[in-house]
Structure 1
Amino acid sequence: MSNLFSGLEEFGLNNLSNINIYEDSEKSAGEEAKKSQQNTFSEEDIIYDRSYTCPVCNKDFKAKTVKVGKLKLQSLDTDLRPKYQLADPLKYDAILCPNCGYAALNRFFNHITGSQADLIKKNISVKYKHVEESENIYTYDTAIARHKMALINSIVKKAKLSEKAYTCLKTAWVIRGKRETLPEDTPNYKETVEKLLQEEKEFISNAYEGFSEAYMKEEFPMCGMDVNTITLLVAELARKVGKYDECSRWISKILISKEASERIKEKAREIKEMLKEGM
């Protein structure tokens, strides 16, 4: 190929004489845009203090919440955990009242009966000590603590199986987020990663147990998911905790279902392949 830029050497541009006019122009532009976005992004810019009224103590408070539409979905893990570019909004899903200690995932926070509120007051509020959260964003440690508070509350108020299972699942996701972003120069890095893996697996196991039982006892949709999505989720949770026979059984439910979409069936086949490979 002839050199289109021959003759520019006199301008001192001989090192650019073999440049390709169109080579990776879109790729380069995309990489530059991504790099620029990373350099200018601040998690503080996508969150705000939202006002809540606690349904247990009736006091007003504020909790950090992610602004709608500010993050782009990047991918889904096999257990349906959404992963976003630049930040993890899952950290902000547990709402905790600083006055009485009532906590729940956002979708469940206002759905509490009078008798459940009494259980919270008698078993949590009388003992609760507020821990000041001074950071401008929620760290993973703060987020994990808030999710565990939500789980304790769900147990105390005798919540539905599905709420407890979903809270376990969301807690596992936040723990996974911490593990995946843990700096490698963290003291005792390998030991910390292993500890987080085991803790995540424990919550996954409890999520599997809860959803399996809720499937038999509760109505759908469940936690915003239809029967086929829950079936797919339970199959993957079973695989993650080593219950391979149960995983196969749940996958079969999807593959023979006339109501399951092709998208759901394709994901079930992917789990089946991972099962064969012993992943």
Structure 2
Amino acid sequence: MEQYYKRDISCGNCNHSYSTLKVKSRYIRPLTHDTDFCSTYHSEETNPLLYYVSVCPHCGYAVTDEFSNKFTAESLQAIRTKIQKHWQFKDFGQTRTVKTAINAYKLGIYSGIIKKETAIVMAGLYLRLAWIYRTVEKNTTQEQRFLKLAVEQFEISYSTGDFEEKEMSEIKLLYFIGDLHTRLENERQAFRYFQLVIQHKTKEKEKRLVEKARERWYEIRTATKLQATS
């Protein structure tokens, strides 16, 4: 248990306090990084992705650190009617299996939809769940399913600007959208978004990311030309 620490949380829905485990930062040692910033880890025990979502054992309302603390009367009523009413006490605050973590994510996604969390928050949930399916479960079908949901939310975030409330630059958001479209084999959309990164007015501030986008843009352009001549 030494690789974990307990975080105490007060549930925004039912006001009960509970604790959940997180992986201590010194134990988080990524082995590899993908182009969409997905990391692989040495073991399930030190994989922080499995502990990203916190679940209240008393009412079932699940959150991430990105969730807003603000509730409307409508959202509270929806949570209590659609989640809490059907919930039986279950403790997600112990060490997690991959299956338990996936269930926590799905509760987080359902909670976020009911509460009407912002698109950038929902995109983060969908993307991290896709990463689990990629790196741990090796389930390409489910990975693609959640990548598609993630990119849809990222695009909504770009159009509404809600990403500005989080630690996400416009260039990074555009890069994410381009990369995920590449993984979904939507080359035309990917090309467009990478081009937006390359031409962005603040590109000098994030040169490394712009260079990555330029490399991906060039790969797509080259592949398209080869297809056209074959």
**TM-score in terms of structure 2 length:** 0.86
Contact map agreement 2:5 2:22 (CA 8 A) in 1: yes
What do the CA deviations read for 1:97-130 (whole angstroms, capped 9, x no partner)?
010010022332x523143233211211001223
TM-aligned CA deviation for residue 69 of structure 1: 3.0
> d(CA) in 1 for partners of 2:49 and 2:92?
17
Separation of aligned partners in 2, 1:130 and 1:172: 27
Amino acid at match of 1:204: L
User: Structure 1 residue 202: deviation in Å?
Assistant: 0.3
Q: Which runs of 5+ in 1 are unaligned?
A: 1-43, 180-192
Cα deviation per residue 1:156-181 (whole Å; 9 max; x = unaligned)?
111112222221111111222323xx
| Preserved CA contact (<8 Å) 1:101 1:124 | yes
Instruction: State the partner residue of 1:7.
Output: none
The answer to whether the 8 Å contact 1:90/1:174 transfers is yes
Q: 2:168 aligned with 1:241, yes or no?
A: no
Offset of 1:197 from its aligned partner? 0.7
Taking only the aligned residue pairs, the percentage that are identical comes to 24
* Contact 1:232 1:264 survives alignment (8 Å): yes
Q: Is the 8 A contact 1:143 1:174 kept in 2?
A: no
In structure 2, which of residues 53, 59, 62 is the aligned counterpart of residue 100 of structure 1? 59
Superposed CA offset, 1:138-169 (max 9, x none): 11111111011100111111111222222111
> 2:24 matched to 1:67?
yes
For 1:15-34, list aligned pairs within 5 A: none
CA distance in 2, matches of 1:95, 1:222: 21
Residues 1:163 and 2:121 are matched in the alignment: yes
- 8 Å CA contact 2:20, 2:92 repeated in 1: no
Partners in 2 of 1:209 and 1:224 — Cα distance? 19
More displaced stretch, 168-177 vs 75-84:
75-84
2:133 alignment counterpart? 175
The 1:152–1:274 alpha-carbon spacing in structure 2 relative to 1, beyond 3 Å, is: farther
Change (3 A) 1:200 1:222: farther
Greater Rg, structure 1 or structure 2? 1
Q: Amino acid of the residue matched to residue 209 of structure 2?
A: I
- 3-state SS, counterpart of residue 66 of structure 2: coil
CA distance in 1, matches of 2:165, 2:174: 11
Measured against aligned partners, the alpha-carbon deviations of 1:1-31 in whole angstroms (never above 9, x if no partner) come to: xxxxxxxxxxxxxxxxxxxxxxxxxxxxxxx
- The letter for the 2-side match of 1:254 is V
Question: Where do 5+ consecutive residues of structure 2 fail to align?
Answer: 225-230
Deviation track 1:224-261 (CA, whole Å, cap 9, x = no partner) reads: 21100000000001111121100000011011123122
Task: Report the residue type matching 1:117 in the other structure.
Answer: L
Which secondary structure does the structure 2 equivalent of 1:52 belong to?
strand
TM-score by length of 1: 0.72
d(CA) in 1 for partners of 2:105, 2:27:
23
| Aligned with residue 144 of structure 2, among 185, 191, 201 | 201
1:143 aligns with 2:78: no
Q: Cα offset for 1:203?
A: 0.3
Per mean C-alpha deviation after superposition, the further-off stretch among 84-93 and 246-255 is 84-93
Q: Residue 117 of structure 1 aligns with which residue?
A: 76
The answer to which structure has the higher helix fraction is 2
In the TM superposition, what is the alpha-carbon distance from 1:48 to its structure 2 partner?
Answer: 2.4
CA distance in 1, matches of 2:66, 2:83: 21
**Residues of 1 paired with 2:168 and 2:71: CA distance?**
23
In structure 1, what is the equivalent of residue 207 of structure 2? 262
Query: What is the Cα deviation at residue 70 of structure 1?
Result: 2.8
Q: Where does residue 91 of structure 1 map in the other structure?
A: 50
| Structure 2 counterpart of 1:232, from 168, 171, 175 | 175
The one-letter code sitting in structure 2 at the alignment partner of 1:81 is C
Could you say what the CA RMSD is over the residues aligned between the two structures, in angstroms? 2.1
Cα deviation, residue 85, structure 1: 4.5
Give the Cα separation in 2 of the matches to 1:88 and 1:199: 19
Cα distance in structure 2, aligned partners of 1:84 and 1:66:
12
